[in-house]
Copies of this chain bind each other. A is one copy, B any other.
């Protein structure tokens, strides 16, 4: 099979995905559900951050649900459930990203229409999920201070396609000599003006502004 044929097939897959994602987005909007697609490397702290945020949202009287993607295990859905959120795990069985079809299928396991916020925790992968629209309102990319300041330059598609970046585990900044300004500069080279948050799920640093951002549709 030629490269051009492969590219055609991929184009077709992405076009189908985009179409389905638009339908999902319209459903989400009709039901007044804020949908956030959370992407990052493995181990950047997606589940931990979402647990802290969900707890706070729930304590404010909001209803939170979550779809959690992983190749295997339901560890993350169970961890996130401890916040009080309604969760459902999607196992991709080796697949490297979530797609709109999976969201359409698995969302039926949740009473999402009553939710104020639906989090979609994507598979830990800083490459492949970038191309798949899931019908979200906002895509948020996480990067932890331990990963190095150069990640936006090395994974440009993901950082460019995200609406905001959350730099996590700031409690470790000193231990890893994290260069905040370099990280900001690199982010802005790839996605000028990208909204950036600095958080620690351990100390609660930066959680409040991030919640405000999530709840405001028009930012």
- Chain A residues packing against B (C-beta within 8 Å): 1, 6, 9, 12-13, 41-43, 70-73, 75-76, 94, 96, 123-128, 143-144, 146-148, 150-151, 153-157, 169, 172, 175-176
Contacts and interface: CB of A to CB of B under 8 A. Distances in A.
Q: Copy number in this complex?
A: 2
Contacts of A144: 43, 146
Contacts of A124: 41, 126, 154-155
A155 B95 CA distance: 10
B43 A73 contact: no
B127 A96 contact: yes
Given A126-B42, A144-B43, A154 B71 contact: yes
7 contacts: A1-B12, A41-B41, A41-B42, A43-B146, A71-B155, A96-B128, A128-B128
Contact of A42 (B72, B154, B156): B154
A207 to B, nearest CB: 19
Looking at A1, A123, A147, the one whose CB has the most chain B CB atoms below 10 A away is: A147
A73 B156 CA distance: 10
Contacts of A6: 9
B43 A153 contact: no
Contacts of A71: 127, 154-157
A175 B176 CA distance: 11
Contacts of A75: 150, 153-154
Given A42-B155, A73-B150, 14 more contacts: A1-B9, A1-B13, A41-B42, A41-B43, A43-B146, A72-B155, A73-B153, A75-B153, A96-B125, A96-B127, A96-B128, A124-B154, A125-B127, A172-B172
